[in-house]
Structure 1
Amino acid sequence: MNRLIGLVEDDPNIRDIVEAYLKKEGYQVISVETAEEAWGIFEASSPDLWVLDIMLPGMDGYEFCKKIRLTSEVPIIIISAKDDEIDKILGLELGGDDYLTKPFSPRELVARVKRHLKRWEAMKPLSEEKVDVIKAGDLELSEAERRAYFKGTEVEVTTKEFEMLRILASQENRAFSREELLIKVWGDDYYGSDRAVDDLIKRLRKKMKELPIETVWGHGYRLRDQSS
């Protein structure tokens, strides 16, 4: 299987149990106690998925999740003793893909790890030979390479950012609802709210300030056709 899991948990008992179950399923695991250690692993080893506790010494799990989401859409499963709905929503809206409340079944965690890794693989290019290029005004997307160019300059985008651009650029001037974009980009079993769409659009506007992504008030977003 050879998938690498990053595990961030300061409780040694929980950490040992989760690590044992993941390794039994054939995963490689790097486990640490702090988000600061985990950040070094993120930059050096690029795990395929993170299992992340929220209540950590030093940098907490929320902040670590936000830092990862600046450059990557790697799956993040949050595990936490905080079971209030507001905590779950916050964790998901900051970039978590899933949320498990302690105490949880290690088998359930493994099942969710498998599901999110399967989706992560499906989001990657199906074929390196694909040569499709999408052009929309000054925006150019290479689907084969999963690269985005704006005004001739490459812009670093995450997997979900690329997918959002692909959807909008493929049908210029069409108004997509937030719910529709949420399902297309995150999947129909995503647990967060449609604020995730707003956050993603905000990041794209920051990276490409002159890209004409328009807000359709009370509905969603569209990419304006610049040729007319």
Structure 2
Amino acid sequence: MSNYIFIVEDDPNIRDIVSAYLKKDGYHVSMVDNAEKAWELTRGKQPDMWILDIMLPGMDGYELCKKIRQESNVPIIIISAKDEEVDKILGLELGSDDYLTKPFSPRELVARVKRLFKRTTIHYEQKPHESGQQLQMGALIVRHNDRRVFWADHEIEVTAKEYELLSNLIQNQNRAFSREELLTLIWGDDYFGSDRAVDDLVKRLRKKMDGVPIETVWGYGYRLSHEEEANT
């Protein structure tokens, strides 16, 4: 079964071009021109990925992104004519997984869609010491076989990017990663956005898991520390 992508874009030319390229690659596509209609139509069937424009009539793409994140961790790509760093950061803070600035190549969008689907479905290779593809450090458990996260005996809903950050950190406990390393590991080596995206991921995880030992290495990056109390 092909992946189902929902496009919310008020420019009919962009909608048609993006849809044509995605369908050519085998994706099932639905598209509407406003966020309210999109939200109503997806109450019955959630898509496997959202592609959202920011400047929409009525509810904007940021608000729709926020509403989606309150209910689902489905991948979200934001597309926008805005190219300011603050707009990209806001989109990432609200839970989007990628941000593409107009004008863009439809082939580039398709490539990002493929990469994001791959990142959300790939299973990490099991290491000899990883019984059942599960790693644990104190109250934190990351299960690689079904991409689930548990903290203090409670399952935590995480986005694809949040999962990848935790997975990389828990597989390299006590190792300090620079922000640039984490950007490459999580977003890919062709990502040119601000390293604030990493800070935003950590901020969201700390909010979801009070006391999670993600330690700030000041002026450098982050590590998952064995210490009971991590510096925050």
TM-score higher than 0.5 here?
yes
Alignment partner, residue 144 of structure 2: 143
Separation of aligned partners in 2, 1:191 and 1:47: 28
SS in 2 for 1:188: coil
Tell me the TM-score normalized by structure 2: 0.80
Does structure 1 residue 187 correspond to structure 2 residue 184? no
Which residue identity is paired with 2:144? E
**Correspondent of 2:113 among 109, 113, 116:** 116
The aligned counterpart of 1:211 is 212
Relative to 1, partners in 2 of residues 1:92 and 1:171: Cα closer, same or farther, differing over 3 Å? same
Look up the equivalent residue of 2:100 and give its one-letter code. Y
> Per-residue CA shift, 1:6-39, capped at 9, x if unaligned?
1111233443444344334433211111122223
How far did 1:184 drift? 1.2
> Is 1:200 aligned to 2:204, yes or no?
no
C-alpha change, 1:118 and 1:221, in structure 2 (3 Å) is closer
Which has the higher mean CA deviation after the structures are superposed, 208-217 or 87-96? 87-96
SS in 2 for 1:183: helix
Structure 2 residue matching 1:99: 3-state secondary structure: strand
The CA RMSD measured in Å over matched residues stands at: 3.0
In 2: Cα distance, 1:124 partner to 1:17 partner? 26
- Matched letter for residue 185 of structure 1: I
The 3-state SS of whatever aligns with 1:45 is coil
Kindly report which structure 2 residues correspond to 1:1-228, keeping only aligned pairs within 5 A, or say none.
2-41=2-41, 44-69=44-69, 71-72=72-73, 74-80=75-81, 82=82, 84-86=83-85, 89-90=88-89, 93-94=92-93, 95=96, 97-102=98-103, 108-126=105-123, 131-226=132-227
* 2: CA distance, partners of 1:169 / 1:7: 35
Separation (CA, whole Å) in 2 of partners of 1:11 and 1:190: 26
Q: Could you report, residue by residue, the CA deviation over 1:54-84 in whole angstroms, capped at 9, with x for unpaired residues?
A: 211112123323444554251414143x4x4
Letter in 2 for 1:196: A
Inter-CA distance 118–186: structure 2 relative to 1 (3 Å threshold)? closer
Contact conserved, 2:123 with 2:144, CA < 8 A, in 1?
no
Alignment length, in residue pairs? 222
> 3-state DSSP class of the match of 2:39?
helix
What letter matches 1:2 in structure 2?
A: S
Q: Identity percentage over the alignment?
A: 50
List gaps (5 residues or longer) in structure 1.
none
The secondary structure found in structure 1 opposite 2:194 is coil
Distance 1:207 1:56, change over 3 A: same
Q: Which whole-Å CA distance do the structure 2 matches of 1:122 and 1:42 have between them? A: 23
Structure-2 separation of matches of 1:131 and 1:43: 35
Q: Could you tell me which amino acid in structure 2 is paired with residue 152 of structure 1?
A: D
Residues 41, 189 of structure 1: alpha-carbon distance in 2 compared, 3 angstrom cutoff: farther
Q: Distance in 1 between matches of 2:215 and 2:124?
A: 32
Q: 1:196 to 1:86 in 2, by over 3 A?
A: closer
1:97-116: CA deviations, max 9, x gaps? 241414x5xxx314422443
Structure 2 residue runs without a partner (length 5+): none
- TM-score normalised according to structure 1 size: 0.81
SS in 1 for 2:22: helix
Q: What SS is found at the alignment partner of 1:191?
A: coil
Equivalent residue letter for 1:120 = F
